[in-house]
């Protein structure tokens, strides 16, 4: 609740965010244990709040678009981390083979440390880059993945 300088009677006033939270809480309490609402119920609630059907439709479309974008981002993130996981698995299998071969032929680990180190550094860098991907770079990578996926 925010205090208002223009409010001589000490009638509470609320910010837009507070109004939204209070109304969401009231809607939850009004429909006791109901998990899903029909479009008619949604329209009725909007009408009670003096929200026009057009505004409701635009809000619903925006919500659906945001939901779709979030799902795409989650799928992209899952893809990126699965790709890194597969690369680590390949790295471990390949280098286990090299170390085993080196042990069998030389009786010690000597030359196998070089590919282990060089490939490992590259993989660590790729993992680090994947974990830091954000902002504009993330958006470009997401667009590239979406194009590749749809092709």
Model confidence at 110, in pLDDT bands (50, 70, 90)?
very high
Q: What is the pTM of this model?
A: 0.67
Percent of the chain scored above 70 by pLDDT?
90
Residues 18-27 pLDDT 10s: 888 888 787 7
Q: Is residue 68 part of a domain?
A: yes
pLDDT at 138 over 80: yes
pLDDT at 6 over 60: no
Model confidence at 4, in pLDDT bands (50, 70, 90)?
very low
Provide the token pair at 7.
């409010």
Residues 57-71 pLDDT 10s: 999 999 999 999 999
Q: Is residue 39 part of a domain?
A: no
pLDDT at 5 over 80: no
Coil, strand or helix: which one is 135?
A: helix
Contacts with 88 (C-beta within 8 Å, 6 or more apart), sequence order: 123, 127
Coil, strand or helix: which one is 134?
A: coil
Q: Is residue 45 part of a domain?
A: no
Q: Is residue 133 part of a domain?
A: yes
CB-based contact 14:1 (threshold 8 Å): yes
Q: What is the domain range of residue 125?
A: 53-150
Q: Is residue 63 part of a domain?
A: yes
CB-based contact 133:80 (threshold 8 Å): yes
Model confidence at 33, in pLDDT bands (50, 70, 90)?
low
Q: Is residue 126 part of a domain?
A: yes
Q: Is residue 144 part of a domain?
A: yes
Count of domains in the chain? 1
State the pLDDT at residue 20: 84
Distance in angstroms (rounded) separating the CA atoms of residues 61 and 55: 10
Q: Is residue 8 part of a domain?
A: no
Q: How many CA atoms lie within 13 A of 51 on its CB side?
A: 13
């Amino acid at each position: 609740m925010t205090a208002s300088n223009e409010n001589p009677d000490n009638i509470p006033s609320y910010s837009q965010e507070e109004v939204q939270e209070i109304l969401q809480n009231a809607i939850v309490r009004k429909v006791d244990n109901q998990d899903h609402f029909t479009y008619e119920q949604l329209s009725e609630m909007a009408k009670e709040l003096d929200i026009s059907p057009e505004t409701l439709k635009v809000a619903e479309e925006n919500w659906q678009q945001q939901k779709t974008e979030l799902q795409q981002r989650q799928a992209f993130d899952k893809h990126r981390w699965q790709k890194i996981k597969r690369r680590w698995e390949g790295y471990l299998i390949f280098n286990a083979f090299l170390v085993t071969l080196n042990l069998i032929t030389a009786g010690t680990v000597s030359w196998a440390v070089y590919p282990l180190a060089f490939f490992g550094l590259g993989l660590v860098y790729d993992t680090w880059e994947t974990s830091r991907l954000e902002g504009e770079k993330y958006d470009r990578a997401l667009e590239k993945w979406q194009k590749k996926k749809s092709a």
